[in-house]
């Protein structure tokens, strides 16, 4: 029996959010379906790229925010 998986299911698989039984089903399908495996590989690559992004503001942005907030202290 051929089972199809939605994009959302693949995302849940990539982020380890599937129940164990469904995770096994996806892994078995990945072995037998090259297209599904390629789509999953793309999602894994995107996940790796997103995880590598800087998640904190730059020093300049932080300084700009602090300088702006100080204008309210002076006006009081």
User: Residue 34 sits in which domain range?
Assistant: 7-75
Q: Greater confidence, 1 or 47?
A: 47
Q: According to the model, what pLDDT value does residue 72 have?
A: 81
pTM of the full structure? 0.66
Total count of domains within the chain: 1
pLDDT above 80 (res 76): no
Q: How many CA atoms lie within 13 A of 24 on its CB side?
A: 2
Contact assessment for residue 22 and residue 11, using Cβ atoms and an 8 Å cutoff: no
Q: According to the model, what pLDDT value does residue 64 have?
A: 94
Q: According to the model, what pLDDT value does residue 74 have?
A: 66
> Does residue 1 lie in a domain region?
no
Contact assessment for residue 40 and residue 30, using Cβ atoms and an 8 Å cutoff: yes
Taking only the tens place, the pLDDT of each residue in 7-59 is 999 999 999 999 999 999 999 999 999 999 999 999 999 999 988 887 888 89
């Amino acid at each position: 029996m051929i089972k199809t998986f939605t994009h959302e299911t693949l995302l849940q698989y990539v982020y380890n959010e599937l129940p164990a039984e469904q995770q096994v089903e996806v892994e078995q399908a990945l072995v037998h379906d090259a297209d599904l495996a390629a789509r999953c590989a793309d999602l894994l690559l995107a996940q790796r790229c997103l995880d590598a992004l800087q998640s904190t503001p730059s020093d300049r942005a932080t300084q700009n925010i602090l300088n702006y907030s100080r204008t309210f202290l002076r006006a009081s």
